[in-house]
Amino acid sequence: MAKVYKQIIADIGTMTTKIRAEAPGTMDGFNAMAKASMADGALSTGTKELIALAIGVATRCDGCIGYHAKALVRAGVPRAELVEMLAVATYMGGGPSLMYAADALRAYEEFGGPAA
Query: Which amino acid does the sequence have at 26?
Result: T
Look up the pTM and report it.
0.88
80 contacts: CB under 8 Å, gap ≥ 6: none
pLDDT tens-digit profile of 30-80?
999 999 999 999 999 999 999 999 999 999 999 999 999 999 999 999 999
Contacts of 89 (CB under 8 A, 6+ apart): 54, 57, 58, 97, 100, 101
**72-91 pLDDT tens trace:** 999 999 999 999 999 999 99
Q: What angle do CA 91, 112, 103 make, to 5 degrees?
A: 30
Domains and CATH numbers, the chain: 5-110 (1.20.1290.10)
Count how many residues are written for the chain. Answer: 116
